[in-house]
């Protein structure tokens, strides 16, 4: 299995901008990867997360940094499915917004899953 993992570290004042881009991408995925998708290239799993960054992850009482951490996590069965997904995303209406949010991102494409609790 291969994956796309994107993490964003965003100051709170930019968080709405990034969240809107990620919600638009989520809608794009819901539209393009339905259960009856005739292409057969649906992601195996996909989820997006959001959390406030803590000063000390082992002690939340130490307060927050003021940054928001977002992640996009997508698991794909075939490398070509990832390439096709990227191509469809670049043609989608939300692409400019999504691409703009990348200024806050660390991106891994064609990542390798080395541990999965489910398998």
CB atoms within 10 A of CB 86: 12
Q: Which residues pair with 11 in a beta bridge?
A: 67
Question: What is the Cα–Cα distance from 14 to 81, expressed in whole angstroms?
Answer: 31
Sorting pLDDT into bands at 50, 70 and 90, what band is 24?
Answer: very high
In the chain, how many domains are there?
Answer: 1
Sorting pLDDT into bands at 50, 70 and 90, what band is 116?
Answer: confident
Q: Does residue 119 fall inside a structural domain?
A: no
Q: pLDDT for 40-64, tens place per residue?
A: 999 999 999 999 999 999 999 999 9
Whether this prediction's pTM lies above 0.75 is answered by: yes
Question: What is the Cα–Cα distance from 24 to 42, expressed in whole angstroms?
Answer: 18
Whether the per-residue pLDDT at 119 is higher than 90: the answer is no
Sorting pLDDT into bands at 50, 70 and 90, what band is 22?
Answer: very high
pLDDT computed for residue 118 by the predictor: 84
Whether the per-residue pLDDT at 83 is higher than 90: the answer is yes
Containing structural domain, residue 94 = 2-112
Q: Does residue 118 fall inside a structural domain?
A: no
Q: Does residue 117 fall inside a structural domain?
A: no
Share of the chain above pLDDT 70, in %: 100
Q: Does residue 53 fall inside a structural domain?
A: yes
CATH code for position 25: 3.30.70.100
Tell me how far CA of residue 79 lies from CA of 1, 75, 86, 105, in angstroms: 8, 10, 11, 21
Q: Does residue 106 fall inside a structural domain?
A: yes
Please report, to the nearest 10 degrees, the dihedral formed by the alpha carbons of residues 96, 24, 21, 37 taken in order. -80
């Amino acid at each position: 299995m291969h994956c796309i993992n994107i993490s964003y570290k965003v100051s709170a004042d930019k968080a709405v901008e990034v969240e809107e881009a990620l919600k638009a991408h989520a809608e794009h995925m819901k539209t393009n990867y339905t259960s009856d998708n005739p292409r057969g290239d649906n992601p195996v799993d996909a989820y997006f997360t959001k959390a406030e960054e803590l000063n000390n992850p082992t002690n939340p009482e130490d307060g927050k940094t003021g940054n928001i951490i977002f992640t996009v996590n997508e698991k794909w069965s075939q490398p070509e499915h990832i390439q096709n997904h990227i191509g469809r995303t670049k043609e989608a209406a939300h692409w400019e917004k999504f691409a703009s949010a990348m200024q806050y991102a660390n991106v891994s494409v064609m990542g390798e899953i080395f541990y999965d609790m489910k398998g």
